[in-house]
Amino acid sequence: MISFKNKKVLVTGAAGFIGSHLTEELAKRGAKVRAFVHYNSRNSYGNLEFLKKDLLKGIEIHTGDITDPFSVAKAVEGCDVVFHLAALIAIPYSYVAPASYVETNVKGTLNVMHACLAHKVEKVIHTSTSETYGTAIYSPIDEKHPLQGQSPYSASKIGADKIAESFFCSFGLPVATIRPFNTFGPRQSARAVIPTIISQALVSDTIRLGSLTPVRDFNFVKDTVAGFILVAESDASVGQVINVGSGREITIGELANKIIAIIGGNKKIATDTTRVRPENSEVMKLLANNSKALSLIGYAPKHTIDEGLSLVIDFVRKNPGFYKTDIYNV
């Protein structure tokens, strides 16, 4: 069992949505956090800049590139635990630039695993995605469900998952894979559907969306972060793949109507054909079976979707400049 007090912890993808929330929670628990942030000339720390200044001061920022093995090795050096979240995640952009997804998601994961092995890291938590399952063959989806590469993104994440698995099987690297379903919460970009709906609903009477029929399992970010922590803390998670989701399903159309009801006003939903994914690539149903997470690591989500939506609406209202509602964010 790992205690994070004074542990040296690396979070790759720390400037991202989930990564920033995980970094924040680890720092609050007394971990010595090193945040791996993609190098940029603006010295932007992404979503980490939403953290309280006193907390952020105590976090070591390491700028680099996950595709560069030297950069990754330097970031891993001296760390006890590594949370690997760095990835390209936008499905529509993976249609445009699939090679970049292989470079970042597959080769980037290879770099992390190799560095963790070389530096004898105590525990590695690799981040997967429910998109690796593709459209549900059966539901709810457990960890034995077949993997289906229905987009270049999901294919690259399947490759990354298997790289992580191979380092456990071949070299005994103590790696566990967490497979989050659709996480949502404050700081999420309009690449994701919930902030897309909310940001449009607050400024327009028309909400432009793609397909309304896909079913998703939306899990609030604090519950996802709790899953990361539990996976890291548990000795039983080593060598395992563990689903983390809410266990609740909702269609995109139902979700949009729920958000409209909370915000109020006379809003209509319009189909934007540019947002509709290719028929064979769209994942029609994702619903998590959390039974393994419950029995193995004691995981159970605590937040309802309505509680989470209220917090996201509040964030979007307070940060209108964070969203560009007049364009489609791929």
| Rounded-to-integer distance, Cα 301 and Cα 312, Å | 17
For tokens 């397909």, what's the residue? 211
**pLDDT at res. 205:** 92
8-188+219-247+285-302: CATH architecture: 3-Layer(aba) Sandwich (3.40)
- Ordered DSSP codes for 262-317: HH-S--EEEE-GGGPPPTTT---B--B--HHHHHHH-------HHHHHHHHHHHHH
For tokens 């470079």, what's the residue? 103
| Alpha-carbon distances, residue 5 vs 80, 168, 257 (angstroms) | 12, 26, 43
**pLDDT at res. 198:** 96
**pLDDT at res. 1:** 67
Who contacts 266 (Cβ-Cβ below 8 Å, separation ≥6)?
205
- Look up residue 232 and give its two tokens: 């890291």
| Rounded-to-integer distance, Cα 128 and Cα 231, Å | 13
**pLDDT at res. 325:** 81
| Rounded-to-integer distance, Cα 239 and Cα 42, Å | 39
Binned average pLDDT, 10 residues per bin, the chain of 330 residues: 88 98 97 97 95 97 98 98 98 96 98 98 98 97 98 98 98 98 96 95 94 96 98 97 98 96 92 90 96 98 97 95 82
**pLDDT at res. 155:** 98
Answer yes or no: are the C-beta atoms of 134 and 150 closer than 8 Å. yes
Answer yes or no: are the C-beta atoms of 299 and 227 closer than 8 Å. yes
How would you label 243-259 residue by residue, b for 16+ Cβ within 10 Å and e otherwise?
Answer: bbbbbbbbbbeebbbeb
| Alpha-carbon distances, residue 54 vs 24, 44, 57 (angstroms) | 11, 17, 5
- pTM over 0.85? The answer is yes
**pLDDT at res. 3:** 81
Measured between its terminal Cα atoms, the distance across the chain in Å is 40
How does DSSP classify residue 11? E
**pLDDT at res. 94:** 97
Who contacts 302 (Cβ-Cβ below 8 Å, separation ≥6)?
222, 223, 226
- Look up residue 98 and give its two tokens: 């699939």
